[in-house]
Chains A and B, each alone.
Chain A
Amino acid sequence: MSYFSDIYNGIKTLLTGMRVTGGYFINARKGTLTQQYPDNRETLKMFERFRGEVVMPHDENNEHQCTGCQKCEIACPNGTIEIIWDRAIVEETGKKKKKIDQHIYHLSMCTMCGLCIEACPTDAIVWAQNFENSVYDRTQLTKVLNQPGSKVKDGIED
């Protein structure tokens, strides 16, 4: 029974939110909140929780963390993510292991719900911070997230 801790957490989060808005109420000078967007394009930094598009970060060795478990594909409510995968033989063990061929992401269908990123067990996909996604041809919105020639990082298991 988490009744009392729920009350405590409720009051605590209530006061946290009220403190944020109260701080804005007191400190609201001109220009503190409004971003002059096209003018400050070079210096504009989106906040961490902003959901731009799904990307797959690669390190300097062109390695990503996607094991091809397809949990993001299953979690996606409208079929935005398609994974084309294959099996490859690992040299050390001689066993066959799943690997991704193409992690296809249809930005035109994505609703930015974030379920794929929550579902990912290895944090292979994250939110990007960019938002200028308009293009002239909608085929450009179908993106392959893993870079050509990339492979999965060693020791990443789901």
Chain B
Amino acid sequence: MKFAYFFLAEFINMFIIASIAVVLFFGGWLSPFGITESITWFPEVFWFFIKVLLIIFLMMWFRWTFPRLRVDQLLTLEWKYLLPINLVNIVFMAIIIWLNWTL
């Protein structure tokens, strides 16, 4: 039971991460492409949980595919690849804001 609490904490962590990702990047409770926008009684929480479960499934899928990602591999990914992309993204977004580009 002690171990179960730790594992439960991990799963709660996954749920929180997935919820944040859904709210920030995947439109939260809104239906994809507005397919249920006109149905007023449709529970919006449904779409939220569907998206959260999809992201949790992706995480679990990755975890089962690569069970032992080494720390040095993870650090290489984050520092050498994701950080430069991130910096380029910041500059790119600054240019977009500066030139008043909108979709």
User: Which of A10, A17, A18 has a CB less than 8 Å from the CB of B81?
Assistant: A10
Q: Is the interface of B mostly helix, strand, loop or mixed?
A: helix
Structural contact, B65 and A20, CB atoms closer than 8 A:
yes
Q: Which residues of chain A from 1 to 55 have any CB-CB distance to chain B below 8 Å in the complex?
A: 3, 6-7, 10, 17-18, 20-22, 25
Number of A-B contacts (CB under 8 A): 17
B62 within 8 A of A: yes
User: Which of A7, A18, A20 has a CB less than 8 Å from the CB of B62?
Assistant: A18
What is the bound-complex CA distance between A142 and B65, given in angstroms? 38
Q: Which residues of chain B from 43 to 97 have any CB-CB distance to chain A below 8 Å in the complex?
A: 61-62, 64-66, 77, 81, 84
Name the interface size band of chain A. 10 to 19
What is the bound-complex CA distance between A17 and B64, given in angstroms? 10
B9 to chain A, nearest CB (A): 25
Structural contact, A25 and B61, CB atoms closer than 8 A:
yes
B3 to chain A, nearest CB (A): 25
| Closest Cβ neighbor of A17 among chain B residues | B65
In the complex, which residues of chain B have a beta carbon less than 8 angstroms from the beta carbon of A20? 65
Structural contact, B81 and A21, CB atoms closer than 8 A:
no
In the complex, which residues of chain A have a beta carbon less than 8 angstroms from the beta carbon of B81? 3, 6-7, 10
| Closest Cβ neighbor of B57 among chain A residues | A25
In the complex, which residues of chain B have a beta carbon less than 8 angstroms from the beta carbon of A10? 77, 81
B71 to chain A, nearest CB (A): 17
A11 to chain B, nearest CB (A): 10
What is the bound-complex CA distance between A21 and B62, given in angstroms? 9
What is the bound-complex CA distance between A10 and B73, given in angstroms? 11
In the complex, which residues of chain B have a beta carbon less than 8 angstroms from the beta carbon of A18? 61-62, 65
| Closest Cβ neighbor of A25 among chain B residues | B61
Q: Which of B65, B66, B77, B84 has the most CB of A within 10 A?
A: B65
In the complex, which residues of chain A have a beta carbon less than 8 angstroms from the beta carbon of B62? 18
What is the bound-complex CA distance between A22 and B62, given in angstroms? 10
In the complex, which residues of chain A have a beta carbon less than 8 angstroms from the beta carbon of B61? 18, 21-22, 25
State the B residues within 8 Å of A (CB). Answer: 61-62, 64-66, 77, 81, 84
Q: Could you show 6 A-B contacts with beta carbons less than 8 Å apart?
A: A3-B84, A17-B65, A18-B61, A18-B62, A21-B64, A21-B65
Q: Given known contacts A10-B81, A18-B61, what 13 new A-B pairs fall within 8 Å (CB)?
A: A3-B81, A3-B84, A6-B81, A7-B81, A10-B77, A17-B66, A18-B62, A18-B65, A20-B65, A21-B61, A21-B64, A21-B65, A25-B61
